[in-house]
Structure 1
Amino acid sequence: MSELNALAQKLAVLSARDVVDQTGARMISEGGLPSPLAAILREVDDTVLERCLTFRCGDTTIRIIAAGRRMRGILSVSPKSSADVIGQVLSREDPAVVQAAHDLLRDLCDNVENMTVRSLPSEPFGNSGERGISALGLAELWGVALAEMDTTPKPPMEQFLTVNAPAFSSLLHVCDGEIVAKEGDFAALQSIWNTQVEAFREAHKKTLRGEEAAQLICLDGAFDNGNSAALALYESHVALIAYEAERFGAMQASWQRIFA
């Protein structure tokens, strides 16, 4: 890996608002929301300096060159695709190429559950004067609802629980005393909630000075199956979580990104 690529990945990890793995990949579409095509256009719209946006959906990798909030074109697809549009710069003067790019992206990612992206240094593509088409212009041409490109972030606790869901074996999320979500075999968590959480929170508040801040409190190996437990506290939200111990580092890192 080149030093430039390594630096780009580190910057992506530090600046990302979403879940990030060790390669710098961010989850941008989960369960088909927003639609993968809308997610791609959102990333293009966020890209000012020329970059190679590497999207992964399922077993497919799509590399797109973007700059100035414009999509210049599709650099490559892996596994290899023979589509003629690959390597061509998008232009409003060539609507057939623009439509071919739309059709290819739809075919590759329209029915996938999840999509990630990495923002990497650009690679040679077309001529410098060929600017491509803006993300908003493509949204209009391709019939992508602008509402799908809304980047309003989820509430902090919801962000944390969503991005770390693969690490959880069970979850109990309570807000203002009401259960708002429960996943997996949560009977043990329900027992902890009923018998220990209130007393713990009262004792915990006495150790704090001033306003209670967001807290993630973890207990390694709390359950017989080796899973660990965590208590996440933020404003009126309380989440009891059973998680895989080896996921602790990524979970703690995401907590710091969201609540720091």
Structure 2
Amino acid sequence: MDDSPLIAKLKALVGNDPVFLGKARVISTGGIPMPLDALLAEIDDTVLERTLVFDIDGLTLRAAVAGRRLRGVLDVTDQPVNGFIGQVLSQDDPDMRHRISALLADLCNNAEQITVKSLPAENFGDPSDAGISAAALTQDTREMDPPSSSPMGQFLAAIGTDVTAFLYVVKGEIVRSKGDTTAVDLAWCHQSDPLRNSQKAIFPQDKDPTLTCLAPALRDGQAIAIARIGDEIGVLSYPSDGFGHILAAWHETTR
């Protein structure tokens, strides 16, 4: 039937108009979509056994992928074959999972362009070795400490022990999270845009950066604040009596 989910998905795929460089398909350029999200989405879209070859700003990452899981990183440009590189990955090993997530996040950090080629699978491990799901890798990378390469990343890293939860949003996409984000999710979805519009109405010159506390405090003694620097946003919850440390870190970051 024309309105079946399969037909709808096929139409969406056809309408994406992929861009190719030679035989490689461009999956992220200029940070859109987020480089790490684009790479993990390719893993999540791969069901059959394949070797995915990613070019990340000239660096090559070859990965064994099947069943929407990363079975192993075959090799990475200029990276020695040790630890987990060249090894079969296991989702049951938290340390291995966190280390591979950290590697992918580091490789994709600030990447300007990523391309991918899907090649036949190479002999690697045992077909029964499931690897690590793309969903688990996505969750791991979101729970990492935010990268400190940007002012917002530096701010969130500085207040890591002072907050109970945060969302780190870049260009409208959540790239990191910490703790129980139920309250900050609601603030992000329902209060961030109205707050921004109100600030623009009051300050037509678009004051930036801004750190705004939302009142009243939550029932459990937590408070919510929204920080904005350029196209990066931090939505955070913290003990209502602990704003002093957060404000000090904010002034240190934005002075």
User: Given the two structures, how large is their TM-score scaled by the length of structure 2?
Assistant: 0.48
User: Given the two structures, how large is their TM-score scaled by the length of structure 1?
Assistant: 0.47
